[in-house]
Structure 1
Amino acid sequence: MDSKEDFKALIQKGYTTKNDFFILGTGMLDKEAVSEATVKIPLKTLNRHGLIAGATGTGKTKTLQVIAEQLSLKGIPSVLMDLKGDLSGLAMAGANNDHIVWRSKTIGVDFEPTALPVELMSISKEKGVRLRATVTEFGPVLMSQILELNSTQQGIMALIFRYCDLNQLPLVDLKDLKKVLQFVINEGKEEIKQEYGAVSSASVNTIMRKIIELEQEGAETFFGERSFDVNDLVRQRDGKGVVSVIRLTDIQNRPKLFSTFMLSLLSEIYDTFPEQGDQDKPKLCLFIDEAHLVFDNASKDLVEKIEAIVKLIRSKGVGVYFCTQSPTDIPESVLGQLGLKVQHALRAFTAKDRKAIGKTAENYPVSPFYETKDVLTAMGIGEALVTALNEKGIPTPLAHTLVRAPISRMDILTDSEIDTVVSQSSLVSLYNQTVDRDSAHEILTKKLQQAEKSAEQKVEEISKRKSSGTKAKEEDSFFEEISKNTMVRQIGRTIFRELTRTLMGTLSGKRR
């Protein structure tokens, strides 16, 4: 079986869809595009996740752009984690040229330069909507995994959250968490011991150092209020899905912060979105560019958490897409969950590279038309090996594909264009105002200051009484009281609330 007609028939049959779809490109055989061998991606299967892989400069980021464009045109919103800064161009219409005309005609699609509705976002000081979350919303389980705590330290973290829940001490930012940790081994040591048992100072100090390490990567700008509501990611504008581009160009060398943010976003989406099962199209798609940054320094617990979310979040109508240089950058446990695979060219400069290419080829279906490992090194820019899931969940035939060109700008926005996009946002005014209410740090600090002031006043009173001949037993009574109360205890304490946390260990609901 080697004729173009047989190849065309196989692709047409394999990529047939009864419901809505978008065209990714057209199949190629012997380095030539085969007309009518159209590679169609069913919208129904986009919540089955995916992979976009390939060496630097082979076109994988532009493929990500194409998919996000087609989703937007179908009314499906998406979130793009942009670490290189080259996805903001989605907000502006693309430019036409002879090569794009030829490519579009060959694939059989019209090329209409189009600007998509884009919302620029940031977890740092980049321009755009500020994304924040509170420590309370992370919960003790997720916070422990981010900090890579052992079982003893995880128990202390659970104690901290429990104590703060019962004593109305909001954990908003890392400053709050550090203050409570200091409290449990200093001023509040006896109180904590009576209610929860002794807490190891060495373990608390270790947790403190891990928090400081996270702060050094810039996490203090991420933890805080106002918390972002993930429902604001699911929006349409003029019938098109809004593309939320999260600008992460300034955190490429801070993988822990990137992992923290990504995992918190996935967890919050999972906890917030209702179950919807398999629908005709997904509710939201997330694209994680440079995905190897998530896994390179991730602990075993963190990888297991990501794997669990990827498995479960599909039922919420959400698809997760990893964009990286090689499939081997993704743990096999996660890779096995990915339905759509778009593999751009790989380069074989060393024996190690050739071995990796052979391993990569094993991740794709066997084709009667290709020797996969040979095609992997021979593809040009904008070409990819593609396999997806059809509407019955069956993998489609492997197709060497000429990918369509993006209809939006294939370049970054200028500073003035970024300012224009940000100024048109309805979310900036909502989320870019910093809310600095009294939280655990301020409340404990005030209580300690009050206790210190009260103690000083008592000392002065005793000093005056002593000088006037007051009996020594009053002084003894005071110091006995002080020894029992290392700070002003909360009188008449009642349970303010019990936080209900879900399977992911995060706060199940939050207010704006």
Structure 2
Amino acid sequence: MKEIYEKLGLFYLGKDVDKETMEPVEALTLLKNKNFTTHAAIIGMTGSGKTGLGVGIIEEAAIDNIPSIIIDPKGDMGDLCLSDPSFSVKTFEPWVRDEALSKEADPAEYAQKIATMWKEGIQSFGQDVSRVERFHAVPKTIYTPGSSAGVAINIMSSLEAPPAQIMEESDSFTAYLKSTTTSLLSLIGITADPLDSKEYILLTQIITQAWLSKEDLGIETIIGRILKPPFKKIGVLLLDDYYPQETRFKLATKFNALLASPSFSLWLQGDDLDIQKLLYDENGKAKIAIFSIAHLNDDERMFFVTLFLNKYIAWMRRQSGTSTLKTLLYMDEIFGYFPPTKNPPSKEPMLLMLKQARAFGVGVVLSTQNPVDLDYKGLSNIGTWFIGRLQTTQDIERVIDGLGGKIGSRFEKGEIKTLLANLKKRTFFLKSAHLDDIRLFTTRWVLSYLKGPLKRDEIAALMERQKAGQEIQKQSFERLGRKNDTLGSFQNVNASIPQYYEPDPSGQNIFIPTLAAKAKVHFFNQSRGIDEERECMLSLELDAKQQQISWEEAREEEVDFTRLPHIAPKNAQYYDLPKMILEDKGLKYAIRELKAYLYQEEGLDLYRCRSPKLESRPGESRSDFIVRVQDLLQQKKEEEIEKLKTRYASKEKVLQERLLRAQERVAKESSDSTSSMIDMGIAVLGALFGKTSPTKIGRTISKGGRILKERGEMSRAEERVAKVQDDIDTLNDELEEKIEKLSEKYDIGNCEVETFKIKPRRTDIDVERCAVVWRVS
């Protein structure tokens, strides 16, 4: 029965609590991971144990190969990086040093004490070292936007045009545009009203026009377009009448001051904000990405959260629909980002996430101290509530109606009110649309060491290795040695050969020759529904002694021919062109060689898996394809489990009835017998059917059995209970064996991913432009 809940896709959250004694019982508190697609909220005052519960949920997801992205305004969630399966003193010592010194204890001795306590705590909840190892192996990264403490993330490199799925829906596009614009303005201290703010209206016009042209924007581009907008009117009013040049200059100056700020440069460095890469590694394995934003001011936090949510929505809308839990988005301390009355930039994308994410297998988990922090429209989209101790009467009253009053519930409203004000730390009510009744439980001991908020230097130490591998390489055009080349002021080039000139800001105008080309390669495969076009832009440096054109030595480099002058500057000097280029009228030979090269080298790389039978889409990376295969396997596995559920339901019912009759018989023979046996349920079946949690059946029955044996009153009732126990064990063993086979059958490790390539036809290669481009030496 060991850890069978993981094979069933269940999150192990803790143990049920007896409401009379307020002590944990043997029954495990389990929740299907797919239930989190209807989202969850964690509510409780400071010290209630919200962080521990949140960390536990993320750990469960990671063990089930479900990735998570965490927005961490306080800095607590970085504790997920503090795990060690060996529980060594050397590992724990840096984590506990400050606490040890504050207690005037020796750091090494204190680390030994804490490591032992943590190991024993984990084991006390039935978790062994192998579980810690599985979680520890999941890659975890702490990103610190706008800071060099953690891994750098380039949040501002471009304001990418949203995907077609958002552009095609008017409401989604409007919400996306509004939140992007308001967050940008908030970054320069402007709280914009969408109805009458001239800054907002101007910026939305600029961004809309760019996005409709499928153009990505950067801050530099926005500044230029504020000064010189690509339109003459706003509505029916002339631009200069509505928003004069002088006023626009002031707005542009604010963005320019932001861009010029040394601290802001940190927003422009590091990894791109690619959601898929944040979630999965190259082999499709889950990762945990933690965005620690405690160091940012309020405006910067709002800007980051809003822009990030928009990026996440853009990624989400490109995914295929699924009923399984694909990923978690966790936000700690939601206060201020999703309020019931105000409308900060982050509110609209968050509400959109809660409304739409379920269809894409995305679960949102929000944590807050007060229920009044959450917008009432969002509450109706949250299916699971974890509620810990609440301090104020207002907070308690707000959640009473949601928790109590259900017919048949074990908890009355008055009872809930009393409990909420007196719950122990780490004890929560669990109310879920997927459960028959309210549960009271205590959270399990987490696998990560809960140190508290991480300091800047602690984040830096934890991320040192990942930061070292994040060197940003500046690419430069490698120049050929030209010691023996002639530098002259004239080039006798045939008029049929197009020429362009790279501007030289220095005015020296010393040029080297390159051959640049823009081509389009079309890939078509009717049976696979493939009709794709790829643009290739190549630049090849030329040497006077070259005898042939070697396009394989060219580098990919975007050349915008429309923006390059085609008239030579005055007083220019040139290195010699090779003779073969001078004699190649219209560059026909160069174009022919380029087509031959592209035919040989270009291909549409695709991936396929024969079982399950699936092929990648054009442009889909190997990692993305593996993730899609995993999603399909998980879905098939869940379908098989549902079939098991149907098959075993009648058997489970019969055993429950037998168990009840046997217990009643024992009760007749012994007035001192307890009801412990009926509480035990059926371990795996109960969790599978959503009725109760796996319990240690043998222990409970043995306890009842010992009581009755001591009194000599078991007789035939003992035999009946033992028979039911054997039947339960047999049924559980049988079910566990079937689940084990399903886990093996649908294991991604058994799927071989092959690579194959679709080649273009020669007639599907079109060289749109090939020219000599004179580059600055």
User: What CA distance in whole angstroms lies between the structure 2 residues aligned with 1:334 and 1:213?
Assistant: 37
Question: Does the 8 Å CA contact 2:44/2:390 hold for their aligned counterparts?
Answer: yes
**Amino acid of the structure 1 residue aligned with 2:272:** S
2:400 pairs with 1:358: no
Say which SS state the counterpart of residue 363 (structure 1) adopts: helix
Q: Say whether 1:55 aligns with 2:45.
A: yes
Structure 1: gaps of 5 or more residues = 1-15, 348-352, 437-445, 451-489, 493-508
**Local SS of the residue matching 2:295:** helix
Does the Cα contact within 8 Å between 2:141 and 2:463 map onto a contact in 1?
yes
Asked if 2 retains the 8 angstrom alpha-carbon contact of 1:77 and 1:236, the reply is no
Following TM superposition, by how much is the alpha carbon of 1:287 offset from its aligned partner in structure 2, in angstroms? Answer: 1.0
2:571 match = none
Aligned to 2:218: 172
In structure 1, the residue matched to 2:62 is: 72
Distance 1:84 1:159, change over 3 A: closer
- Alpha-carbon contact 1:72-1:240 (below 8 Å) kept: no
1:47-81 CA-to-partner distances (Å, cap 9, x unmatched) read 21111111111110111111111111111111122
Higher relative contact order (CA 8 A, sep 6+): 1
How much has 1:197 moved relative to structure 2? 3.8
For 1:166 and 1:338, locate their aligned partners in 2 and report how far apart those are by CA, in whole Å: 34
Q: What root-mean-square deviation, in Å, do the aligned CA atoms of Structure 1 and Structure 2 show? A: 4.5
Structure 1 residue aligned with 2:139: 117
- For the residues of structure 1 that align with 2:421 and 2:74, how far apart are their CA atoms? 24
Return the offset for 1:214.
Answer: 8.4
Which secondary structure state, in structure 1, belongs to the residue aligned with residue 321 of structure 2? Answer: coil
Q: Please say if 1:27 is aligned against 2:50.
A: no
The secondary structure found in structure 2 opposite 1:309 is helix
**436, 442, 460: which is aligned to 1:402?**
442
| Residue identity in the other structure for 1:121 | Y
- The corresponding residue for 1:339 is 383
**Aligned with residue 159 of structure 1, among 194, 202, 205:** 205
Match of 2:326?
283
Change (3 A) 1:401 1:261: same
Taking a change above 3 Å as real, the CA distance of residues 241 and 168 of structure 1, as seen in their structure-2 partners, is closer
2:417 maps to 373
Query: 1:333/1:314 Cα in 2 relative to 1: closer, same or farther (>3 Å)?
Result: same
Structure 1 residue 195 displacement after superposition: 11
Tell me, yes or no, if the aligned pair for 1:383 and 1:402 is still in contact at 8 Å: yes
SS in 2 for 1:319: strand
Mark the CA change 1:155 to 1:76 in structure 2 (over 3 Å): closer, same or farther.
same
Letter in 1 for 2:326: K
Q: CA deviation at 1:113?
A: 4.6
Corresponding residue for residue 459 of structure 1: none
* Cα distance, 1:358 vs structure 2: 1.0
Determine if the alignment matches structure 1 residue 81 to structure 2 residue 71: yes
Alpha-carbon offset, residue 26 of structure 1: 1.7
The Cα of 1:429 is off from its aligned counterpart by: 2.0
Conservation of the 8 A alpha-carbon contact between 2:179 and 2:345: no
* Pair 1:44–1:267, CA change in 2 (3 A): same
Contact 2:140 2:289 in 1 (8 A): yes
Give runs of aligned pairs for residues 451-462 of structure 1, distance below 5 A. Answer: none
Secondary structure in structure 2 of the residue aligned to 1:292: coil
Shift in alpha-carbon separation, 1:150–1:34, aligned structure 2, 3 A: closer
Q: Per-residue CA shift, 1:356-412, capped at 9, x if unaligned?
A: 31112223244433522211111111111112343xxxx442112111011111115
Please say which of residues 207-216 and 60-69 is displaced more in the overlay.
207-216
Q: What is the letter of the counterpart of residue 198 of structure 1? A: L
Specify the SS of the correspondent of 1:79: strand
* 1:137 is the counterpart of 2:160: yes
> Is the contact made by 2:39 and 2:384 (CA closer than 8 Å) also made in structure 1?
yes
Q: CA separation of 1:128/1:225 partners in 2, compared to 1, >3 Å: closer, same or farther? A: closer
Equivalent runs, 1:215-226 vs 2, <5 Å? 221-222=266-267
**1:89-100 map, 5 Å:** 89-93=79-83
Structure 1 equivalent of residue 306 of structure 2: 263
- Structure 1, residues 342-363: CA drift from partner, whole Å, max 9, x if none? 111112xxxxx21331112223
Query: Does residue 220 of structure 2 align to residue 198 of structure 1?
Result: no
For 2:353 and 2:141, locate their aligned partners in 1 and report how far apart those are by CA, in whole Å.
Answer: 25
Determine helix, strand or coil for the equivalent of 2:451.
coil
Residue 24 of structure 1 contacts residue 41 of structure 1 at CA under 8 Å; is this kept in 2? yes
Are 1:120 and 1:244, in contact at CA under 8 Å, matched by a contact in 2?
Answer: yes
- Displacement of 1:196: 8.8
Shift in Å, 1:279: 3.3
Secondary structure class of the residue paired with 1:70: helix
Aligned to 1:440: none
Distance 2:266 2:373 in 1: 28
1:235 paired with 2:280, answer: yes
TM-score by length of 1: 0.67
Any conservation in 1 of the 2:79–2:449 contact (CA below 8 Å)?
Answer: yes
- Find out whether 1:320 has 2:364 as its counterpart: yes
Does the CA-based 8 Å contact 2:310-2:349 persist in structure 1? no
Q: Aligned partners of 2:468, 2:38: CA distance in 1, in Å?
A: 30
Residue 208 of structure 1 deviates from its aligned partner by 5.7
Q: Does the aligned pair in 2 maintain the 1:128–1:428 contact within 8 Å?
A: no
Equivalent residues of 2:306, 2:345 under 8 A apart = no
Whole-angstrom CA distance in 1 between matches of 2:348 and 2:214: 32
For 1:74 and 1:121, locate their aligned partners in 2 and report how far apart those are by CA, in whole Å: 23
Q: Say if 1:238 and 1:113 are closer, same or farther in 2 by CA, change over 3 A.
A: farther
Preserved CA contact (<8 Å) 1:289 1:323 = yes
Aligned partner of residue 402 in structure 2, secondary structure:
coil
Q: Aligned partners of 1:88, 1:35: CA distance in 2, in Å?
A: 31
Change (3 A) 1:20 1:168: closer
Give how far 1:163 is off: 5.7
Q: How far off its partner does 1:333 sit? A: 0.7
- Partners of 2:143 and 2:236 in 1: CA distance: 43
Q: 1:365 to 1:198 in 2, by over 3 A?
A: same
Q: Measure, in 2, the Cα distance between the counterparts of 1:209 and 1:66.
A: 47
1:192/1:408 Cα in 2 relative to 1: closer, same or farther (>3 Å)? Answer: same
TM-score by length of 2: 0.46
1:368–1:62 Cα change, 3 Å: same
Is the contact between residue 41 and residue 382 of structure 2 (CA under 8 Å) also seen in structure 1? yes
Structure 1 contact 122–131 (Cα < 8 Å) conserved? no
What is the distance in 1 between the residues matched to 2:267 and 2:442? Answer: 40
Residue identity in the other structure for 1:230? I
Using the alignment, how far apart are the partners of 1:368 and 1:129 within structure 2?
Answer: 50
Q: Which amino acid aligns with 1:160?
A: I
For structure 2, the residue ranges without an aligned partner over 5 or more in a row are: 85-113, 163-176, 186-191, 477-502, 508-562, 566-618, 622-777
Tell me the CA shift for residue 204 of structure 1: 4.5
Q: CA deviation at 1:18?
A: 10
CA contact (8 A) 1:255 1:293 kept: no
Larger C-alpha radius of gyration, 1 or 2? 2
Pair 1:46–1:158, CA change in 2 (3 A): same
Counterpart residue type for residue 37 of structure 1: A
Q: 1:237 to 1:198 in 2, by over 3 A?
A: closer
- Whether contact under 8 Å (1:149, 1:207) holds in the other structure is no
Match of 1:231, SS state, is helix
Aligned equivalent of 1:502: none
The alpha-carbon deviation at position 86 of structure 1 amounts to 2.4
CA positional deviation for 1:283: 1.8
- SS in structure 2 at match of 1:429: coil
**Separation of aligned partners in 1, 2:475 and 2:377:** 40
Q: Residues of 1 paired with 2:335 and 2:237: CA distance?
A: 41
Cα 1:374–1:427 change in 2 (3 A) is farther
Counterpart code for 1:150: P
